[in-house]
Amino acid sequence: MTTATKIPPAPRWDLDSIFKGGSGSQEFAQHRQKVKEDLKQAEGMLKDLFVPLDEQSLDNWVNFVLKLQSLVEDIELVISFAGCLTSQNVEDTAADAITNEGYFYFSQWQKLRTELEAHSLKQSEQQWQMLLDDKRLSGIQFFLKELREIAKSKMPVEMESLALDLSVNGYHAWNQLYDKMAGELKVDFEEKGEVKKLSLGQLATKMSDPDRSIRRMAFEKMTEAWKSRADLAAMVLNALAGFRLTLYHRRGWESPLYEPLVMARMQQKTLDTMWEVISEKTKQLKPYIEAKKKLLGIDKFRWYDEFAPCGNTERLYSFDEAGEFIYENIKSFSSDMAEFAKMALAHHWVEAEDRPGKRGGGFCTGMGSFKQSRIFMTYAGTYENLLTLAHELGHAYHSWVLKDKPVFAGSYPMNLAETASIFSETVVTDAALKQVSDPQEKLMLLEQKLQSAYVMFTDIHTRYLFDKSFYTERKKGVLSKEQLSELMVKAQKKAFGPLLDESGYHPLFWCSKLHFFITDVPFYNFPYTFGYLFSGGVYDRAQQEGTAFADKYRALLADTGSMTTEDLARKHLGVDLTQSEFWVKAVDRALANVDEFVRLANSLS
């Protein structure tokens, strides 16, 4: 590991092994043409479902389900690959167009699924069971049962199909407009006498700079950039919520949380219990924040101090060093996970280069029938970047575990997806803590752990509280950018409590956080905190059982696409998520290092 001020450039990912030539790829064009043809074929197969499900029609039903399954994998590849292209280059307008094309195909697929849902309701329990019992559909019974249950809460098929058609050029288009707007925002940033034009993704890396003046300037520049787009962002956010609320009203869904909870395969009681415990215990982070303020030499803790590093902040990790660090530490728990990480890095599945023109943030996405993943991030050499890499490799490992499952049995909800990624982070950090001898380095590692708890219990809680209040107010009418900022500050006051100074709120967080604008997953917030705490429970079991738990962990991940969240926890951990006991232990575990951090910080300050 190096302490130099510069590190070698991080690598770019390999997309050519999927489709050579990017948005102009002939192979990619052929794939999209096949999707179009398969959609037409599937539409033709629908007529065979108008007859009741019996022994004579069973083959037609099975074939249609299998066709839907292969189609969604191919369509997701279109959207995923195009998304990679636009993320690596926000000016790739051809990829933007292909993304729109992919969403159109997906809406057509959803219409086919909606038809299947409608037909499922016309069958008796015995007829539907005949389909579930067919060996050709082995492994996807949970999906089919869930499909029929969800169908009971939807509009007539004609109205659902219309809504899907309209979403392509309306609902999803608003999301794409926001992404385009965010990707094109750039700022002039002066550092060490040199002015550079930075994207928001590059600017975000400055928020963890040890120099407070740099962090403050990055925050102010980001805020200034978003002020210039706040009117447009408010228009987009209002449009997205308006679309959802209209659709929910037509379906008879009273709460805007109905859809995200169905998508999470999770009960409202579980979610409420988790937040109740967090609200009660968040104040226990106060000693950590006070110690951090003392270390940083500040009297007021503001938004841009959230990711301020503590301890040894000089050390930078080259990308190769980060990969080796992750591999060695994961290996102590699971050789399977470690070898997967080595393979993914060796095959250039990660886009990490720090350069202009990239979108901000990080993600992991699948590559359809290729049974591969691609990871997007901007790597600057910090330990935080190293953890991001470990996080995304956790996502990729989760998909790898499920690669041999039927597609419909491998589709897991966001809250369970975060389990694998955060588990990977925890394994890496705790293994590093066991090895460390330098007090400054130990302080840095403890800071990373408590920083995660701080973010999950305050930052993410803010997003959830904002979404709840926003949807309540949006039912009454369109909100101005000023009203949105007021709601955001109220949410921050409640979530952060005494941890954040009143001068340190971020009123435009609703504008700058892309998660509020994602159309694929409404309430894209609570899955992170759930995954963080749930993964802690899984990690506890790993600590108790050692390497013997590695296979059980893999089995847990393998079930995430075919069980409810509560049933998964009951089967693999023996806990009831609707009760506070699990969450109290999980939050206490997350806060367990507060005293140690305070003692070490006081000894070093």
Going by C-alpha positions, the residue among 271, 344, 413, 334 that lies closest to residue 11 is 344
pLDDT at 5: 61
Residues of the chain with pLDDT under 50: 1-4
Q: Are 199 and 221 in contact (CB under 8 A)?
A: no
Long-range contacts of residues 32-37, Cβ cutoff 8 Å, at least 24 apart: 32/78, 32/98, 32/101, 32/102, 32/105, 34/74, 35/71, 35/74, 35/75, 35/78, 35/105, 36/105
Residues 6+ apart with CB under 8 A from 204: 218, 222, 360, 361, 378
**What phi and psi values does residue 401 have, to the nearest 5 degrees?**
-60, -35
3-state secondary structure of 176: helix
576-599 pLDDT, tens digit per residue, is 999 999 999 999 999 999 999 999
Tell me the DSSP string of 47-87: GGGSS--STTTHHHHHHHHHHHHHHHHHHHHHHHHHHHHHH
| Residues facing residue 190 across a β-bridge | 195
Amino acid at 519: T
- To the nearest 10 degrees (0 to 180), the angle between helices 549-559 and 526-545 is 150
* Per-residue buried b or exposed e for 20-55, using 16+ beta carbons within 10 Å of the residue's own CB: eebbebeebeebbeebeebbeebeebeeebeeebee
Q: Are 269 and 578 in contact (CB under 8 A)?
A: yes
pTM exceeds 0.75 for this model: yes
Residue with tokens 């407009």: 177
3-state secondary structure of 351: strand
**CATH 1.20.140.70 for the 22-169 domain, yes or no:** yes
Going by C-alpha positions, the residue among 376, 520, 387, 407 that lies closest to residue 455 is 387
**What phi and psi values does residue 278 have, to the nearest 5 degrees?**
-60, -45
pLDDT at 143: 97
531-541 pLDDT, tens digit per residue, is 999 999 999 88
How far is Cα of residue 397 from the mean position of the Cα atoms in its chain?
15
Q: Are 383 and 318 in contact (CB under 8 A)?
A: no
Pairwise CA distance, residues 335 & 509, whole Å: 40
